[in-house]
């Protein structure tokens, strides 16, 4: 009965953590710490892999170790960078790897090993790669080692199977798996190094196609009225050529956001210069217990142009954003519209600010889409 109670406690703690990931919130305080402590208890009693059984009604087909590994694997796989609907899918996917990964006590005096994540059992944190846990006086606290190497070997074989089939026999979502697996490898590195902030420390965001279009359409770049509409500034924590990490208080209630959403960002104007506006996607999102929201933004290269378009069978003009061709990176011209416009072969009439230069295009290929936009390439209609 005690083993079943501990098993159920682990399951419920997992769901609390998943709920936080799904809604981009900080994990409830002490949730991970309790999981670490309970796993140590099962290790001491040598029951971490035992299946609880009281009677036919009171039993479980999942061990504590499997539940524990399942949430650990999700927690180290960039959960705040997943779409809300992908969090549970990721959790179920990781269930297929729990029997393969290894969790064991960290020996005293151990050295960092590639492929190992380290867990300070006194902490309330997820496993950390390449950093041994320490406390005061550099002493080693009770700690565990999560070895993901066996899982990476199995995943490689899954990718090979997917390549060798037409996809009909694949039961794993390979697209989602590709998002998760890099984070299970301790050698994973950021594509761009974070750069200390110099110059402007604040930025403004216009979230959603309509707001972005309004800002791009402003004759003088960004007026005081538009800045007022955009509310308070976001603080820039760091930035590089690929994106930004920004933060501010009190966001979720007034500006609902999700991974993949479109927005524009421009830094606060200085010395009367016209600010440069950039388009971006939300790639990482988290709100802490104090209402502070942090956003990781991926910049879309190019200079966006506000236009309008008409469908052939509709006289009403809709806002869109034209992204010109960038030959340097072999990026064709594309159009960003509301969801539901992409239809290969559909003809659109494009109306720039100077209406004398209207032109027609044929929708070609979908580049990207999210809950609040579609981006696709097109061919000019002759």
The shares of helix, strand and coil residues in the chain, as percent rounded to the nearest 5, are 30, 30, 45
What are the extents of the domains in the chain?
2-184, 202-284, 305-380
pLDDT for position 55 = 76
What pLDDT does residue 134 have? Answer: 85
The pLDDT score that the predictor gives to residue 275 is: 66
Determine the Cα–Cα distance for residues 115 and 130; give it in Å rounded to an integer. Answer: 8
Note the pLDDT of residue 272: 53
Q: How far is CA 212 from CA 150, 231, 262, in A?
A: 46, 14, 8
* Angle subtended at Cα 42 by Cα 38 and Cα 45, rounded to the nearest 5 degrees: 140
Separation in Å, CA 43 to CA 50, 105, 218, 286 = 11, 9, 63, 33
Model pLDDT for residues 345-357, shown as the tens digit of each residue: 999 999 988 767 7
Locate 45 and state its tokens. 């009693």
The CA distance from 193 to 282, in Å, is 18
SS3 226: helix
Structure tokens at 311: 């469908």
At residue 186, φ and ψ (nearest 5 deg) are -70, -15
The helix-helix angle for 2-22 and 64-75 (nearest 10°) equals 20
Residues of the chain where predicted confidence (pLDDT) is lower than 70: 1, 165-171, 188-195, 219-231, 252-255, 268-275, 313, 355, 382
What's residue 157's pLDDT? 82
Say which residues have a Cβ less than 8 Å from residue 269's Cβ, sequence separation at least 6.
222, 275
Non-local CB neighbours of 350 within 8 Å, separated by 6+ positions: 307, 308, 309, 320, 322, 335, 358, 359, 360, 361
Helix (H) or strand (E) holding 38: helix 31-45
Give pLDDT, residue 135. Answer: 80
- The whole-number pLDDT of residue 219 equals 47
Q: What pLDDT score was predicted for residue 142?
A: 92
Instruction: State the Cα torsion 28-30-33-35 to the nearest 10°.
Output: -60
The verdict on pTM exceeding 0.85 is yes
Q: For residue 131, what pLDDT is reported?
A: 85
């Amino acid at each position: 009965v005690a083993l079943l109670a501990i098993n159920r406690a682990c399951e419920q703690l997992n769901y609390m953590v998943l709920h936080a990931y799904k809604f981009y919130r900080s994990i409830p305080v002490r949730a991970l710490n309790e999981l670490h402590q309970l796993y140590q208890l099962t290790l001491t009693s040598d029951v971490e892999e035992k299946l609880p059984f009281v009677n036919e009604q009171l039993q479980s087909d999942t061990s504590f170790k499997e539940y524990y590994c399942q949430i650990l694997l999700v927690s180290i796989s960039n959960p705040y960078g997943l779409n809300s609907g992908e969090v549970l899918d990721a959790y179920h996917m990781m269930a297929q790897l729990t029997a393969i990964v290894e969790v064991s006590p960290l020996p005293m005096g151990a050295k960092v090993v590639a492929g190992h994540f380290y867990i300070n059992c006194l902490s309330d944190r997820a496993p950390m790669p390449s950093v041994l846990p320490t406390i005061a006086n550099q002493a080693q606290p009770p700690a565990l080692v999560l070895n993901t190497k066996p899982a990476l070997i199995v995943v490689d074989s899954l990718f090979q199977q997917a390549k060798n089939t037409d996809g009909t026999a694949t039961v794993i979502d390979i697209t989602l798996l590709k998002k998760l697996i890099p984070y299970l490898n301790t050698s994973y590195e950021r594509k761009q190094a974070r750069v200390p902030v110099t110059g402007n420390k604040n930025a403004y965001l216009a979230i959603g196609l309509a707001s972005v279009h309004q800002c791009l359409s402003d004759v003088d770049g960004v007026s005081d009225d538009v800045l007022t509409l955009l509310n308070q500034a976001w603080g820039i924590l760091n930035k590089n050529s690929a994106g930004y990490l920004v933060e501010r208080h009190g966001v979720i209630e007034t500006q609902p956001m999700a991974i993949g959403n479109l927005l524009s960002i421009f830094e606060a104007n200085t010395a009367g210069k016209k600010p440069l506006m950039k388009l971006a996607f939300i790639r990482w999102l988290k709100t802490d217990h104090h209402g502070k929201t942090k956003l990781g933004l991926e910049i879309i290269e190019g200079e966006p142009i506000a236009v309008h378009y008409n469908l052939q069978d509709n006289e009403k003009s809709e806002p869109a954003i034209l992204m010109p061709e960038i030959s340097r990176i072999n990026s064709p011209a594309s159009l960003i519209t509301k969801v539901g416009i992409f239809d290969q072969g559909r003809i659109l009439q494009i109306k720039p600010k100077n209406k004398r230069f209207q032109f027609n295009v044929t929708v070609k290929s979908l580049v990207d889409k999210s809950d609040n936009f579609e981006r696709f390439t097109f061919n000019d209609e002759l």
